[in-house]
C-alpha cells in the first residue's frame, strides 16, 4: 500500500557538506569544506544536491545534506532527553530541512537520517516527550535497525523548556503551539517521504509512526487529522485527552494541599504494597503483578493504624493518610462531586505526582511534577510564576474547565472518529502500562471505548486499532517494561496478521521480570491453574469482568 507524498508548492536546493565522524565525547560534527556525494552499491543512494518541495502553507528556509561516517552519536540537550551517547551508528546521510510558516516567525527543523547501506525499505517517524516534539536519540537508534528515520523539533526547545510558549507581551505563541500540537509532525512526514525518494531513487515501501507519551499523542493526532501520512502507527502511553489528564495529574497536589497531609514516599509505598498483596491473586496466581487493576477494590482505609518503618522510624498510618490515597486513586472531582478524570492507577508509584518537600518554615509543601505544572502556570494561566502547589479544589475545577475550553481543539487529541484512517488502510497499536505514574491508563481505555461507540463496536474497531494494557509497566516502560509492538505492527501492516497479543517482558514488585503475552483490550491474561508460571503458555486471554 502506497500513500501520497505531498503537494509541491516551492523548492530550494540542498547545500551539501561533509563532516568528520562523531565520537562519544563530541556533541557536534566538525564541518569540512567541499561537497559530498556517496553511492551505496546497488541502492542508487545519493547524498548530494536535490530539491525539497515545501508542504502547503510553508516555505523552506534551508536544506543541508551531510554524508556521515559510522560512529557514536551524542544526543544534544540536557538529560534525561539528551546528553547520552548512541554507539555504533552506521554510516548515513543526514538531511536537515528548516521550514517556516510565513508571518509566524517560526523555524521548524526536520531531520531525516538515511542509512548508506542496508536500508530495509521502510520509513519510520519518531515522536517526542514532554514538551519536546522529536527525539534524535531515537532517530539514531532506529537507523541502526535499517530504517530511514525522521523527526522534527517543531521550532520549539527541548522537553524541559517552555520559554517559547509566551510572547514578549505575555500572550500565547499560537503558531508554535500549533506546530507542537499537530502540524509539524505532518509536515515532517511529507518532507521525509520526498527526501527518501530523492536519496534512494525510490519511495519507501511502508511508512510508520513510532512514539510514546508526547510521541503517542502525536501518533493519534496523525491518525485523526492526517490519516494518509502513515500505514502504521505505534502510539504508546499516549498523551491524548491532553487537557483532562494533564490538569488531572495535579490532583494529588491539590488533595495534599487542601488536607494539609503530605505522606512520605515510604508511607505511599506501604499503600501500594498492601494493594498488590490484596489484588495480586485475582488473575489466578501470586506473582507480584496486578493482572487486572480494574478488579482491585482495595480500600486504603484498611491500613489505618498500621505501623511502618520509614528511615528507621516507626510511623503509624493515619486516617488522613488513607483519605489522601483514596482521593488520589479515585481521581479528580469537581466541587459538586462529579468525576472530572481518572486517578493514579493502583500500583503506580506516587513519587512523581504526589511528591513533597520541606518548606522554609520546616513544614512539608507540595512539589508538583514539571509537565502538568507548567501546562497550568504557563499555558493556561499565562503566569509562569503561578504556584500549582497551592491550588484549592475550587481553583482546580476552574482551571480544568478553562483548559478544555481554550485548548481542546488545538492539542486535546480527543477526536474519536478514525474512519478516514481506517478507510485509508491504516493500522494503530497502543501499548500502555497499567502502572503508568504519569498518564492514567484509564484515559486510553476511555478513548478506545469512545471510538467503539462511534464506529460500530469492538470487533469492527479491532480490524484497524488495538490497545494492549501491560500489568506492572510504568510510563513508557521506563523500568524494564518491553514489548514487540513495532514487530507486531509491521506484521499487521505488511502481512495482514492482526496481533492478538504482544510478547512482553514485565517488571514485578519482587524486583524480577516475567515474560508474558499481553492480551488486546478488552481481554486480560489469566493463569490457567497449571503449568510453569514463567511460561507464557500457562496463561490465556479471557474477557475481563
Active site residues: 213, 436, 475
State how beta strands 108-115 and 92-100 pair.
antiparallel
Rounded CA gap, 537 and 59, in Å?
55
Rounded CA gap, 417 and 455, in Å?
7
What are the two backbone dihedrals, phi and then psi, of residue 250, each rounded to the nearest 5 degrees?
-90, -10
Rounded CA gap, 336 and 348, in Å?
27
Assign 51 to helix, strand or coil. Answer: strand
DSSP 232-267: EEEEES---SHHHHHHHTTHHHHHHHHHT----HHH
Residue 545 burial by Cβ neighbours in a 10 Å radius (0-12, 13-18, 19+)? exposed
Rounded CA gap, 534 and 519, in Å?
17
Query: CA-CA distances (angstroms) from residue 532 to 283, 393, 411, 516, 529?
Result: 15, 49, 46, 12, 9
Contact criterion met (CB below 8 Å) for 438 and 477: no
Q: What share of the chain is helix, strand, coil (3-state, %, to 5)?
A: 30, 25, 45
Tell which residue, 487, 453, 467, 439, has the closest CA to residue 544. 467
Query: CA-CA distances (angstroms) from residue 258 to 262, 336, 365, 428, 477?
Result: 10, 16, 11, 41, 32
Query: CA-CA distances (angstroms) from residue 39 to 36, 115, 203, 413?
Result: 10, 11, 17, 42
Query: CA-CA distances (angstroms) from residue 284 to 205, 287, 289, 291, 540?
Result: 44, 9, 11, 9, 11
Record the cell numbers describing residue 443, joined without a space: 484515559
State how beta strands 427-433 and 232-236 pair.
parallel
**Helices 265-279 and 319-330: crossing angle, nearest 10°?**
70
Cα 105–Cα 110–Cα 112 angle in degrees, nearest 5? 165
Assign 187 to helix, strand or coil. Answer: helix
308 forms beta bridges with 315
Assign 148 to helix, strand or coil. Answer: strand
Amino acid at each position: 500500500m502506497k500513500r501520497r507524498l505531498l503537494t509541491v508548492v516551492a523548492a530550494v536546493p540542498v547545500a551539501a557538506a561533509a563532516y568528520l565522524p562523531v565520537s562519544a565525547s563530541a556533541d557536534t560534527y566538525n564541518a569540512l569544506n567541499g561537497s559530498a556525494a556517496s553511492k551505496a552499491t546497488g541502492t542508487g543512494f545519493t547524498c548530494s544536491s536535490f530539491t525539497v518541495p515545501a508542504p502547503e502553507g510553508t516555505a523552506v528556509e534551508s536544506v543541508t545534506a551531510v554524508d556521515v561516517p559510522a560512529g557514536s552519536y551524542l544526543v544534544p540537550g540536557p538529560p534525561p532527553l539528551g546528553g547520552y551517547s548512541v554507539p555504533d551508528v552506521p554510516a548515513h546521510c543526514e538531511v536537515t530541512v528548516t521550514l517556516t510558516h510565513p508571518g509566524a516567525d517560526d523555524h521548524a527543523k526536520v531531520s531525516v537520517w538515511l542509512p548508506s547501506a542496508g536500508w530495509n525499505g521502510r520509513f519510520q517517524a519518531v515522536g517526542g516527550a514532554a514538551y519536546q516534539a522529536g527525539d534524535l536519540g531515537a532517530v539514531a537508534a532506529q537507523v541502526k535497525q535499517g530504517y530511514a528515520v525522521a523527526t522534527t523539533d517543531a521550532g520549539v526547545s527541548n522537553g524541559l523548556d517552555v520559554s517559547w510558549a509566551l510572547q514578549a507581551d505575555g500572550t500565547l505563541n499560537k503558531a508554535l503551539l500549533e506546530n507542537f500540537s499537530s502540524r509539524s509532525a505532518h509536515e515532517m512526514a511529507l518532507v521525509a517521504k520526498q527526501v527518501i525518494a530523492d536519496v534512494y531513487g525510490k519511495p519507501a515501501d511502508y511508512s510508520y509512526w513510532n512514539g510514546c507519551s508526547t510521541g503517542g499523542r502525536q501518533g493519534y493526532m496523525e491518525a485523526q487529522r492526517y490519516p494518509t501520512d502513515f500505514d502504521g502507527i505505534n502510539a504508546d502511553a499516549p498523551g491524548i485527552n491532553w487537557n483532562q489528564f494533564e490538569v488531572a495529574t495535579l490532583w494529588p497536589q491539590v488533595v495534599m494541599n487542601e488536607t494539609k497531609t503530605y505522606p512520605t514516599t515510604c508511607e505511599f509505598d506501604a499503600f501500594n504494597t498492601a494493594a498488590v498483596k490484596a489484588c495480586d491473586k485475582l488473575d489466578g496466581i501470586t506473582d507480584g503483578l496486578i493482572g487486572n487493576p480494574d478488579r482491585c477494590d482495595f480500600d486504603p482505609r484498611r491500613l489505618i493504624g498500621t505501623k511502618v518503618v520509614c528511615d528507621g522510624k516507626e510511623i503509624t498510618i493515619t486516617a488522613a493518610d488513607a483519605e489522601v490515597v483514596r482521593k488520589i486513586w479515585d481521581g479528580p472531582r469537581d466541587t459538586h462531586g462529579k468525576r472530572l478524570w481518572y486517578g493514579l492507577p493502583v500500583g503506580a508509584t506516587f513519587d512523581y505526582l504526589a511528591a513533597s518537600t520541606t518548606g522554609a518554615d520546616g513544614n512539608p509543601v507540595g512539589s508538583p511534577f514539571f509537565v502538568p505544572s507548567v501546562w497550568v502556570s504557563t499555558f493556561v494561566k499565562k503566569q509562569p510564576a503561578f504556584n500549582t502547589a497551592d491550588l484549592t479544589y475550587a481553583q482546580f475545577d476552574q482551571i480544568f474547565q478553562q483548559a478544555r475550553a481554550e485548548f481542546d481543539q488545538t492539542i486535546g487529541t480527543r477526536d474519536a472518529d478514525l474512519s478516514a484512517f481506517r478507510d485509508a488502510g491504516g493500522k494503530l497499536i497502543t501499548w500502555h502500562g497499567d502502572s503508568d505514574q504519569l498518564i492514567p491508563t484509564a484515559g486510553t481505555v476511555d478513548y478506545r471505548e469512545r471510538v467503539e461507540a462511534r464506529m460500530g463496536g469492538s470487533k469492527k474497531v479491532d480490524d484497524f486499532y488495538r490497545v494492549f494494557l501491560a500489568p506492572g509497566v510504568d510510563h513508557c516502560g521506563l523500568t524494564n517494561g518491553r514489548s514487540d509492538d513495532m514487530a507486531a505492527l509491521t506484521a499487521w501492516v505488511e502481512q495482514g496478521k492482526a496481533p492478538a497479543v504482544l510478547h512482553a517482558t514485565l517488571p514485578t514488585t519482587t524486583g524480577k521480570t516475567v515474560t508474558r503475552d499481553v492480551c488486546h483490550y478488552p481481554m486480560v491474561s489469566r493463569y490457567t491453574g497449571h503449568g510453569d508460571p514463567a511460561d507464557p503458555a500457562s496463561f490465556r486471554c479471557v474477557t475481563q469482568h
